[in-house]
Amino acid sequence: MDGSEGPDRGPFETPLFDDPSAKALRRLGVVDVGSNSVRLVVFDGAARSPAYFYNEKVMCGLGAGVTETGRLNPTGRARALSALKRFQLLADGLGIAPLTAVATAAVREAEDGPDFIEEVKRETGLRLYVIDGAEEARLSAQGVLLGWPEAKGLICDIGGSSMELAEVSDGQVGRAVTSPLGPLRLQSLSGGRKARKQHIARIVDDLAREFGGGSLPLYLVGGSWRAIARIDMERRRYPLRVLHEYRMSRKSVAATLDWIAEHDLESLRQMTGIGEARLALVPLACEVLAALMRALKPREIAVSSYGIREGLLYEQMPQALRVRDPLIEACAFAEHKDARLPGFGKSLYKFILPLFEKAPDERKRLLRAACHLHDVTWRAHPDYRHEACFDNVTRANLGGLTHGERVFLGLALLHRYKNSRSDSRLTPLFGLLSEKEITEAEVLGKAMRFGAMLAVDQAEKMGALSWDARRKRLTLSLTPHARGLFGEVAEARFNSLAASLEARTEVRVLEPST
């Protein structure tokens, strides 16, 4: 994902959320019947990067005890059926097409799994598709690709009864396997902690041999992994509480596993807000994660909030949609829906681009995103609009965006509405950026702040900016049409932009074209 426009389709041409083939994905309901939880997610918005229109989870523990009894947990089964009845009624009320529903390890392994499927069909009309372990791994990997098109490494999805591994590279899913390493299953092992650790190590070592190791990046999917990452944030006092694309090193993971072992679960619950049922499985998940760190030696660990449910959405996307940049699609949709002048982002980007001609493609991609978003929070109170911009992008459901990039975008949008960032409650988050990145974000924000003063349909009608970095000279060439727009407020914003560049200025008025 280099942000380049290509010969046929650019990020500012007609977004695919306007295409009839993509509109079928605009509101889609997915149900995931897992060994530990049952969840309904309704997606909506830009088809390539949808928002969560509705999201409800019930911790049922359907797979608790399956290893010993061979049957679904009776209490969990009753709770799961109740949840599915509710989900189907919600779907009917929302006018959603038939829900896509899958069941994983607990239902596929329990002897009464087929009976449960029939009961669900009879009581709710909902058809449950039972997927095998390899298919579960593949769908989870596809979910990661929904938000990380450039992901390359191993996907590790931990559920209640199983743990899946899959390879991803070049937008494709490679080998995909399952293993019996879910915390609910590990609870039933006999022999105590020592026997359990040996059991985990043996299976993980076999997986490492199968996938060849190689210190690949590891993408973690699943509630138990997210709980551990949330605890890692607490231990590190990490300022941005967004789990998606949160990064950890092996050293950090090791420190957090030790930190968890030193605390009782109730104190961890109070510190993090993690639910009691989820937190109860964390110690066993920690044992699995420690074995993975030892055997795989990943050079980087990243958390994905996207998994099997998002993989089911990705499964239904046409290839033309899959190859789109999820960040640009989401930002274009936000502009289309919320901006005062939808489409002006294209002109604004062309206008400010001369300031960033030498920027790498990944930075220009953020410029495009910022220009799409520069006006989507205009309804916020003027005194807080700059903070609303920042909060909107740093906490938004956006894929293809690292935490540092989130803060960069947020800071640029803050400066879109306010010159100064001093004495801000947001200051701790700026620590995720270098001083150079902070300056670049300020320049971008002030460039958008000035460019918005010359709001016209076409960039060429605005005139042009030119930037001589060696001489530190910023030149504004105004068309006769735009000359009248360059009033005293616009001039003040132009001078503020120049100050952030430590530049001298020159303003020219172009001759009328004949």
Q: Looking at residue 75, what is its pLDDT?
A: 97
Return the SS3 of 134: helix
Residues 23, 29, 34, 37: is their CA dihedral positive or negative?
Answer: positive
Q: From CA 222, how far away is CA 283, in angstroms rounded?
A: 15
Q: From CA 424, how far away is CA 445, in angstroms rounded?
A: 16
Cβ count within 10 A of residue 121: 12
Which has the closest alpha carbon to 223: 173, 285, 144?
Answer: 285
Residue carrying the six token digits 């001078």 = 495
Q: Looking at residue 18, what is its pLDDT?
A: 52
Ramachandran assignment for 6, one of left (phi > 0), alpha (psi -120 to 50 degrees), beta (any other): left
Which has the closest alpha carbon to 30: 46, 48, 7, 54?
Answer: 54
Cross-strand bridge partners of residue 178: 164
Strands of the 163-169 sheet, one edge to the other? 172-179, 163-169, 153-158, 218-221, 301-304, 247-248
Q: From CA 74, how far away is CA 81, in angstroms rounded?
A: 11
Q: From CA 444, how far away is CA 449, in angstroms rounded?
A: 9
- Domains of the chain, start order: 26-130 (3.30.420.40), 134-310 (3.30.420.150), 322-509 (1.10.3210.10)
Q: From CA 42, how far away is CA 201, in angstroms rounded?
A: 38
Q: What share of the chain is helix, strand, coil (3-state, %, to 5)?
A: 50, 15, 35
Q: Looking at residue 424, what is its pLDDT?
A: 82
Amino acid in position 140: S
Query: H helices then E strands: how many in the chain?
Result: 24, 14
3-state secondary structure 418-486: CCCCCCCCCHHHHCCCCHHHHHHHHHHHHHHHHHHHHCCCCHHHHCEEEEECCCCEEEEEECHHHHCCC
Q: Looking at residue 22, what is its pLDDT?
A: 53
Secondary element (H or E) of residue 47: none
Secondary element (H or E) of residue 304: strand 301-304
Q: Residue 356 has what DSSP assignment?
A: G
Which has the closest alpha carbon to 305: 248, 246, 253, 252?
Answer: 246
Amino acid in position 401: L
Q: From CA 190, how far away is CA 89, in angstroms rounded?
A: 42
Which has the closest alpha carbon to 373: 404, 330, 433?
Answer: 330
Task: Return phi, psi of residue 7, to 5°.
Answer: -75, -25
Return the SS3 of 117: helix
> 282 is written with which tokens?
């964390």
Q: Looking at residue 460, what is its pLDDT?
A: 67
CB 189 within 8 A of CB 199: yes
Q: Between the CA atoms of 185, 190, 194 and 198, what dihedral angle is there, to the nearest 10 degrees?
A: -60
Residue carrying the six token digits 């609009």 = 385
pLDDT digit string (tens) for the chain, length 514 residues: 443 343 333 333 444 445 555 555 567 899 999 999 999 999 887 678 878 899 999 999 999 999 899 999 999 999 999 999 999 999 999 988 789 999 999 999 999 999 999 999 999 999 999 999 999 999 999 999 998 888 999 999 999 999 999 999 999 999 999 999 999 999 988 889 999 999 999 999 999 999 986 789 999 999 999 999 999 999 999 999 999 999 999 999 999 999 999 999 999 999 999 999 899 999 999 999 999 999 999 999 999 999 999 998 888 888 888 888 999 999 999 999 999 999 999 999 999 999 999 999 999 999 999 999 999 999 999 989 999 999 999 988 888 899 999 999 999 999 999 988 987 889 999 999 999 999 999 999 999 999 998 876 666 677 899 999 999 999 999 888 788 888 999 999 999 999 999 999 999 998 776 4
CB 63 within 8 A of CB 161: yes
Cross-strand bridge partners of residue 489: none
Secondary element (H or E) of residue 254: helix 250-262
Q: Looking at residue 96, what is its pLDDT?
A: 87
